[in-house]
Amino acid sequence: MTMDTKTAEILCKTTADFYRAQAASFSATRTAPWHGWVRCVDAMTKALGVMRRGASCGVGSQCSVDEGVSHEEACFLKGSIDCLVDEGISSANSLVFSVFDLACGNLRFERYLEEALPDASLRIYAVDSCDELVASADGPSAPVTYESSDIVGGLIEGLPLSRLHHAPQSDMAVSFGFLHHVPGEELRVRVLEGLIDTVRPGGCVVVSLWQFMNNSTLAAKAEVTHAQATKALGLAPDKLDEGDYLLGWKNVEGAWRYCHHFSDEEVGRLVAAVSNRAHVIDSFGADGRTGAMNRYVVLQRI
């Protein structure tokens, strides 16, 4: 089923209004890194050829492209990241690589990544539609280029993701806690395609896909708030897709956001839709008390 434009616009506006109104309280609950990020970063850095401090890329002097260029810089200039700095190498020679974060929120992934890769010099390009969330952020020490953009609104209008941001091509693209706010499977596929196009060949993409209905407590709450919200917003149940819900927030009246629960079958279809652009290098469940609230998919561009 393809969601009609009017319904998608109502869901988009409802979610945008929620984040603007609840930015402070929402950000306060989003400070710690997600457990799944550890495995995501490990998978991506391995695929990119990044090794931990003190390791060798195995290429030796052959990876040098010119006299006076360091081993690490040569690897980067060749278009692949083959090593992190060894012990004793100054920060001036640290490996540089770029990250694109779609729906960056309060920049907590950037803080985590900086801690996880202390020897890397990060170039971060972040996009979100809620400036209030970003403004509340205690960001990383690495410089962040931030762009405000209504991604979902633009997608609904038919624009490709590439027209909705100005990020340069990156080594790594991530999007956490966002795809469940994108209405309709067709638009979600377009987001994933756009993320893959954002990275260079061989670059990595990771997304999280929320599976909140697998938690019986959250599922029960979702059924209640969804019934209340659809009635208040005048949304007919048959206008929404299976797995679509409007969730509440801390019992605040009228504070709803659109969220989609991803079935395992949907995850499979999403991956299959981009199989000509990227291949899966990891897929796993993590987070929450059950350890399976999010399904993570890590892809490498072909």
**Both 178 and 205 in a single domain?**
yes
Q: What integer pLDDT is reported at residue 136 of this predicted model? A: 81
Q: What integer pLDDT is reported at residue 287 of this predicted model? A: 96
Range of the domain at 280: 5-50+95-301
- Give the residue ranges of DSSP H helices in 150-215: 151-156, 185-198
The CATH number that applies at residue 231 is: 3.40.50.150
Q: What integer pLDDT is reported at residue 139 of this predicted model? A: 80
**Both 61 and 157 in a single domain?**
no
Q: What integer pLDDT is reported at residue 239 of this predicted model? A: 94
Distance from CA of residue 225 to its chain's centroid? 26
What's this model's pTM, rounded to 2 decimal places? 0.86
**Both 57 and 176 in a single domain?**
no
**Both 142 and 291 in a single domain?**
yes
Distance from CA of residue 36 to its chain's centroid? 12
Asked if residues 82 and 111 have their Cβ atoms less than 8 Å apart, the reply is no
**Both 235 and 280 in a single domain?**
yes
**Both 43 and 55 in a single domain?**
no
- Give the residue ranges of DSSP H helices in 181-263: 185-198, 216-233
How far apart (Å, rounded) are the C-alpha atoms in residues 171 and 80? 9
**Both 136 and 190 in a single domain?**
yes
**Both 111 and 10 in a single domain?**
yes
Torsion angle in degrees (nearest 10) through CA of 209, 127, 18, 205: 0
Listed residues 37, 70, 93: the one ending a domain: 93
**Both 177 and 46 in a single domain?**
yes
- Average pLDDT of each block of 10 consecutive residues along the chain (302 residues)? 90 97 94 96 92 42 36 40 36 70 96 92 96 87 94 97 97 98 97 98 98 96 97 94 97 96 98 98 95 97 98
**Both 80 and 220 in a single domain?**
no
Q: What integer pLDDT is reported at residue 137 of this predicted model? A: 80
**Both 163 and 262 in a single domain?**
yes
**Both 220 and 232 in a single domain?**
yes
Number of domains in the chain: 2
Q: What integer pLDDT is reported at residue 51 of this predicted model? A: 55
Phi-psi bin for 122: left (phi > 0), alpha (psi -120 to 50), beta? beta
Asked if residues 35 and 287 have their Cβ atoms less than 8 Å apart, the reply is yes
